[in-house]
Amino acid sequence: MRRLTAEHRLHPAQLVLPLFVREGAAESRPIGSMPGVVQHSLDSLRAEIGRAAAAGIGGVMLFGVPEHKDAIGSGATDPDGILNVATRVAVAEAGDALVVQTDLCLDEFTDHGHCGVLARTASGELVVDNDASLERYRDMGLAQAEAGSQLLGLSGMMDGQVAAVRDALDGAGRTGTALLAYSGKYASAFYGPFREAVVSSLQGDRRGYQLDPANRREGLREAALDIEEGADIVMVKPALSYLDVLADTAAASPVPVWAYTVSGEYAMIEAAAANGWIDRERAIDEALTSLVRAGADAILTYHAIEAAERAAGGGR
């Protein structure tokens, strides 16, 4: 009776699995702060793509972990850089079973760990140069589209990033490459384990370009701006602490709205479950269902395959 009368359901096709691919890795490497998640080699990536396809999830989001970094993130636009190589591998392995998506941001590739190019002000302060970063994003978008990415995840939070990348893609005849705008991306403490996953070189913080956690209306305004610039999908990140922003965005958006259950949210569930404090499977399913209830059309989650297999089996 509860299943029959449930107002919201989680479907495997709504789930997207983030994957980290490490350059030069001969085998997968565990990520200590994210039990069960690894940095993949190209071989283990192929195997994981197969698992994801078999589980019936909607797609995978790829993040590159390069061996070498520099000030402008040169590896992000190198056709032989790890993210673009991994994209070609994933596309070949996935076929039509999954939507292969790529993270379009410089933070994994820069030696300072910021999402854009740095510049020095007249007073000598180093800041992120928004417009210079957009030029790098344009080149990065073209490189990812050329590698076969079907959906570019614009996560850098630079003003005008959607319009810039859309213009570059359209100018190159890549009109079919879709854009996912990380619109409501907040300056959150819940990103901590992700920094380990991508071997972040971050110096300082990102509060200058990510949203203030105190601001609800700002998240909706950012989504509206991204939609005006041509975003095909908008997203709220993190997820569980921002259900109000997610619900606001879902109520107003004419395009699909996604949510990202980030590394810290994943780690909290895993740590509490490991200590016997919560029922792990129920907590995972409840957290994901809450996002669907709040209005998410799809969810990026490290629990994607497991949750999909459970949903396909009728579990809730």
Q: Does the pLDDT value for residue 121 go beyond 90?
A: no
Q: Does the pLDDT value for residue 214 go beyond 60?
A: yes
What average pLDDT does the structure give for the chain?
95
CB 220 within 8 A of CB 249: yes
* First CA to last CA distance, the chain: 13
> Nearest 5°: CA angle at 273, between 272 and 277?
65
- pLDDT mean over 67-82: 96
Q: Express the helix, strand and coil content of the chain in percent, nearest 5 each.
A: 45, 20, 35
Q: Please report which residue ranges of 101-232 form alpha helices under DSSP H.
A: 130-147, 161-171, 192-197, 217-229
269 half-sphere exposure, CB direction, 13 A CA radius: 20
Active-site residue identified among 22, 237, 303, 310: 237
69 is catalytic: no
Class of 2-312 per CATH? alpha beta
Per-residue model confidence as pLDDT tens digits over 128-164: 999 999 999 999 999 999 999 999 999 999 999 999 9
Question: Rounded CA gap, 182 and 235, in Å?
Answer: 5
Percent of the chain with pLDDT over 70: 99
Active-site residue identified among 40, 138, 185, 310: 185
237 is catalytic: yes
SS (H, E, C) 175-193: CCCEEEEEEEEECCHHHHH
CB 108 within 8 A of CB 64: yes
